Amino acid sequence: MIKLSYFEAFHAVMRTGSMTAAARILHTSQPNVSRSISRLEKETGLTLFERMPGKLLPTADGRALFEEVQRSFIGLQRLTESAGRIRRSGSGILRLGAVQTLSLSIVPRAVKRFTDRYPEVKLSIQTAHSSQLSRWVSEHTCDVAIISSLGVEENIESELLYAADGVCIMHASHRLAEKDVVSPQDLADERFITFPRGDPPRVLMDRVLLDANVDLTQTIETSYSAITCSLVMQGVGVAVVNPHIVRDYLHGGVVARKFIPAPPHNAIMIFPKGKPRGRQVESFVDILKEIVVEEKADIVALFGEPKN
């Protein structure tokens, strides 16, 4: 088999037009380049150059061989670039999942930052309830998911992304906007927008209301936090929500107030148990944590440290 170094020397000579210049870019000597060309000609049986005083002219055979060598070198360059991409960010597709509250808040911000850093990586994003996402992760059909509560799935590993206190949101013109802190008793005569019965955030909020002996008679149920915030923006009612979703609505007439005692709002990352996370997953997790640190500073400035 002909040595690759012979073709490298030939490629360099064809690109530069001389053996001296080829030796410089190959970081070797001119005699070494000359010997490589001679051995290549001997092993291929081709005359690749016409040697003339002060000139080295490629023959027709030399030009034809260079076209083939050039294609091969472009292929090698692509392989090198592919190896670099895999080294930086892994290969294939990153499959993400999130409960809808987080899929409309922290996840888009993380995806934007991730795709800016790793534009060659493909993404698949699914939204579902925590229980469904846990099943997908346990079945290895999702690489990482962000849920609000852990269930009974055994084949997953979990890591807390953040724990936050729920905050009360209302239209800026609402009477509760005049208060610094809202309590369960303040909600007694209000139209309250909440999650459907059985949803983890609803269960936690109902517990707060029960402990405070508050019975809400006017409620609107919706599974989507975006609808909740939009209804509040229209002045339809008030709600207690995850503080990480509020920031996108504060410029639309919505204001947020500290709520005591606050129901907890957790974000939990889950992964397939026993499966190496891979570079793509680790990079995305790092970005999620970056964003949480940035957002937490704003939340603490507005509402103080979470109690959970």
Residues 125 and 271 in one domain: yes
Instruction: With respect to residue 23, please indicate whether it lies within any of the assigned structural domains.
Output: yes
Q: Could you read off the pLDDT of 216-253 as tens digits, one per residue?
A: 888 999 988 889 999 999 999 999 999 988 877 887 78
Residues 171 and 34 in one domain: no
Residues 172 and 253 in one domain: yes
**CATH for 134:** 3.40.190.10
Q: Cα separation of 126 and 65, whole Å?
A: 51
Residues 172 and 249 in one domain: yes
Q: Which domain holds residue 296?
A: 93-163+266-301
Instruction: With respect to residue 227, please indicate whether it lies within any of the assigned structural domains.
Output: yes
Residue 215: Cβ within 10 Å count: 8
DSSP 3-state assignment of 64?
helix
Instruction: With respect to residue 194, please indicate whether it lies within any of the assigned structural domains.
Output: yes
Q: Cα separation of 87 and 227, whole Å?
A: 41
Residues 277 and 128 in one domain: yes
End position of a domain, from candidates 89, 123, 146: 89
Instruction: With respect to residue 69, please indicate whether it lies within any of the assigned structural domains.
Output: yes
Q: How far apart are the first and last CA of the chain?
A: 68
pLDDT at 80 over 70: no
pLDDT score at 70: 85
The fraction of the chain above a pLDDT of 70, given in percent, is 93
Instruction: With respect to residue 255, please indicate whether it lies within any of the assigned structural domains.
Output: yes
Instruction: With respect to residue 201, please indicate whether it lies within any of the assigned structural domains.
Output: yes
Our count of domains for the chain comes to 3
Residues 10 and 157 in one domain: no
Instruction: With respect to residue 136, please indicate whether it lies within any of the assigned structural domains.
Output: yes
84: left (phi over 0), alpha (psi -120 to 50) or beta: alpha
Residues 48 and 22 in one domain: yes
What angle is formed at CA 35 by the lines to CA 30 and CA 38, rounded to 5 degrees? 125
Residues 149 and 13 in one domain: no
Residues 213 and 144 in one domain: no
End position of a domain, from candidates 29, 58, 89: 89
Q: Could you read off the pLDDT of 127-179 as tens digits, one per residue?
A: 988 889 999 999 898 999 999 888 777 789 999 999 999 999 999 999 999 99
Average pLDDT over the chain, rounded to an integer: 88
Instruction: With respect to residue 171, please indicate whether it lies within any of the assigned structural domains.
Output: yes
Residues 156 and 273 in one domain: yes
Residues 235 and 285 in one domain: no
End position of a domain, from candidates 28, 63, 89: 89
pLDDT at 90 over 80: no
Residues 127 and 83 in one domain: no
